[in-house]
Chains A and B, each alone.
Chain A
Amino acid sequence: MRSWELVRFAVGAIIAHPMRSALTSLGVVIGVAAVVMMTSIGLGASKRVTDTIAGLGSNLIIVQPNFQRGGGFVSGGAGQGLTLRDSDVEAITKQVDSVAAVAPTVSGQAQLAAEGANWSTRVQGVTPAYLVARDLNVASGRMFDDREARQGRKVLVIGATVARELWGDADPIGRRVRVKTVPFEVIGVLESKGQSGFGQDQDDVVLGPLAAVRSRIVGRRTRGDTVQTIYVKAATADDLDKVQEDVTNLIREQHRIKPGEDDDFQTQNMASILAASQAAVATFTVLLAAVAAVSLLVGGVGIMNIMLVAVTERTREIGLRMAVGAKRSDVLIQFALEAVMLSLGGGLIGLTIGVLGAIGIAKIGSWPAAVPAWAGPLALGFSMVVGLVFGAYPSWRAARLDPIEALRRE
């Protein structure tokens, strides 16, 4: 008895009832497709979150006003809640060690107008340190220097998207653009960073000197020394926690916050944000995969059900096979193979559907398609195990049949 003969028996039985075999496998098809799709979507989401956060710059601490605090003491004044000042920036620069860059920013939405073209975007008021903090480079022209930033010269460094929207393919350096009626001159273009993980265009940026943007664009609602966000870049990843702690203590001191009182600002560490969001995505993925695995289990029960029917239906066949010399193990293997093939076939189809589905969903949701390399082996391994586990009992029943009884069955 050669083992491939048993494979042929199993294949013969499967193709003898194509419709029934297809329906039997359907449960596994759906289960495997769901597992593959869910893990791919989960992985895609995780990648997207990681890319987005990494795109902000590495070793970064973000200091922002804490808008939650003091909700009860609404004074209604202009710039309410904006608690960070130039003095905080100065203090961090001077007093905190292991800092690569301290970049204060303000920003406001504004309409840009140049030679008939219009473009509405967010204009950021920054210092040159911003490029270091956010890992940005100037592709052509130059960045304004510290002095220009302080003096509030009316110059801009723009992203590739802004340049294209306003001037097409023409070189934007030296051109004049009106930002909310205030004329500025373009002196540099940033290197392209492309789309972020969340589908944001990272080249849709306009950087201007902090003082100029603060007074001319963000407007009268803010005090003259207010900053909205301070980016602090630690020298190395190992310094991140220490720098965050030092910055927190220093600003508390600056703001004269007594021990026990809440901060009127918050610091966020990119590494911890990354870790937290990745953990959230991982939990989500595991949950989705668990739900998908349940459908795989249901598919297995479907196979067991049909295999039990097949054993009953083919009792006489089993008896005859035994009479002409089949051992119990031959019968067992034949039926187990049938179950495994049904399941494995379903797994293959499910894998194809799952991969195509994941790519499709990625396209629709502008999501990075991330079908893990182990999806194939995993899906096929799983469906094989499902076939073995759920085929075991029906096969055992077939092998235990008494040939005399089996041959007598109508």
Chain B
Amino acid sequence: MSERTSVDGAEHVHDLLSEYLNGDLPDAERQVIQQHLDACARCRRDYESLRLTVNLLRQIPLHAVPRSFAIAALEPRQSWRLTWLRLSTSALAAVFVALLALRLVLPSAIQPAASTAATGESRVQSQAASASNAQPAAAAPTAAPAAPPMQAAAAAAAPAPRAAQAAATAAPAAQVIRSAAAQPAPGATPTPASGAGVAPLAAASRAAPPGGTVSPPAVVSAAQQAAPVTAPKPALQTDAATAHRTAVSTLPPSTVPPRPATTRRVSTRLPPAPSAPDWYTPLLAAVGVLLAVSLGALVWVSRRR
């Protein structure tokens, strides 16, 4: 502090008094100020008031802290390791839940895989399913344009309005045939192992030429055979079968490709596979074990911190 006020030829020391008070001036400067204070009442008064001010400040008591400002409970500092562990645990938990949901909520989603990995019996089953699908699938579109004559034929065969109504929609009619063909034996034994259940259907589909060409007599005969056994309304189904035969026979053999949508519907109609695919249980177990390990590590790490 070089700035000094000169009054009456003597240098006042206001600006150095603070440092003098702190005791951090060199000895030489200290002595100069000491001498000046001895001589100058005004500077002495200044010094005295300054000293008292500082004393007052030093006596200010510390205020007790109103609470602890520790932050652990509020926001744990995240290390990359913990972050990674949290992410992986969450991902594993999500996969685990998704697998469980697949099994519980959407059992049909894992069944096609089941039938491909199954025994020879079920392979026959699925063959029968896909082959038989070709027929109604092919029949449905061809029957549609032939609706008026079919309607007429149905009306001729059974004058009841109920029969006409059933025949008016070609696709449902085909469906009824299909279900009639598929149902005869399964109605008695719903187990998938029963090859007898699909025997008529398989026979019908084997009779059909390759390429999905319609073979009405086979289907209809199967339907007619089945109708008295399982269908609760034989009259209606026979009408529908008749209508179908009439409609299809009026048309040349068509080669409409089978619709995959129908395939799925039919396969669900077949006795469902009760067991999960081969990969499901090991995968679920592996994810479960990994999840448990990850959770354990997470708990251990967060407890250690």
A is bound by B: no
Interface residues of B (CB under 8 A from A): none
Chain A interface residues toward B at CB < 8 A:
none
